[in-house]
Amino acid sequence: MITKANIQFVKGLQDKKQRQKYGQFTVEGEKSITELLKSNFTVLRLFALAGWIQENNGIIGETECTVVSERELTQISVHKAPQKVLAVVKCPLPTAPLPGSLFVLGLDEIQDPGNLGTLIRIADWYGIQQIVCSPGSTDVYAPKCINATMGSFLRVRVHYGDIIEASESLNLPIIVTAFDGQNIHKSELPEKGLVVIGNEGHGIAPALLKAASVKLTIPRFGGAESLNAAVSAAIVLDNLIR
């Protein structure tokens, strides 16, 4: 049984202002939550169907857990058909990126939370553990973003800050894609770097293009004018990390 106040609070976390005010966000989905409970994240509370709780007693441990009906779960979920369990999680404190990584992903003003989630999942596939988002980028703790990461938010740390400053503090050259860059299929590629992907509509900011040490081009064989941000990132990382 969930109280009205709790329904309102959990639903409120779909809103960025509320997430920032309370420093909390929600995670949904059995698989993500199973992994979440084994991670370093602080799970403040679970709302789950009785059956799920029975099956997962071992991993729930001391975590506060409220039994809810399917109808109640639908009330607090972002999904029309929610998946058995929802977790309220503490947002980790902001930190600066740590030196030592060969490749870091930089995201310049990515606006769509689904795109950000997909980019986190791609970074995770290629073993990239740190992302630097420019301050105006969308919020990593938006439910759509967390959902699109398919659990990869647990392994990839997302920092917000100036990308050029990050490249300096990490001592990594900035790598961008640009129409006038070297052919990514035919060039000798850098062994480390901060790979910057631009905004969905406007691409990479002029200051970042200017600061770039390496400009790469994904060769085009047909008529499309561009590729979307996540697809470009995947192709660039697949060429750099092989």
Residues that bind a second copy (CB under 8 A): 118, 121-129, 150-152, 155, 185, 218-228, 230-231, 234-235, 238-239, 241-242
Q: Pick the closer one to a second copy by CB: 18 or 217.
A: 217
Tokens describing residue 47: 């709302």
Q: Of 3 and 221, which CB lies nearer to a second copy in the complex structure?
A: 221
Angle between helices 113-125 and 229-240 (to 10 degrees): 10
Cβ 7 to a second copy shortest distance, Å: 28
Contact status, residue 37 vs residue 59, Cβ threshold 8 Å: yes
CB 1 → a second copy: shortest distance, Å? 32
Give me 200's structure tokens: 């969905």
Q: Which residues of 126-154 are buried (b: 16+ CB within 10 A; e: fewer)?
A: bebbbbbbbeebbbbbbbbbbbbbebbbb
Least distance from C-beta 38 to a second copy, angstroms? 12
Closer Cβ to a second copy, 78 or 150, answer by number = 150
Rounded to a whole number of angstroms, the minimum distance from the CB of residue 156 to a second copy is 8
- Selection from 116, 123, 120, 121 nearest residue 144 by Cα: 116
Q: Give which of 236, 238, 242 is closest to 106, Cα–Cα.
A: 236
Q: Which is nearer to a second copy, 34 or 69 (CB)?
A: 34
User: Quick one: 67 or 241, whose CB is closer to a second copy?
Assistant: 241
Tell me the closest approach of the beta carbon of residue 207 to a second copy, in angstroms. Answer: 27
How far apart CA 25 and CA 20 sit, in angstroms, is: 9
Rounded distance between C-alpha atoms, residue 85 and residue 10, angstroms: 13
Q: Which of 105, 82, 89 lies closest to 39, judged by CA?
A: 89
Q: How far is the CB of 130 from a second copy (least distance, A)?
A: 12
User: Which residue, 64 or 238, is less far from a second copy as judged by CB?
Assistant: 238
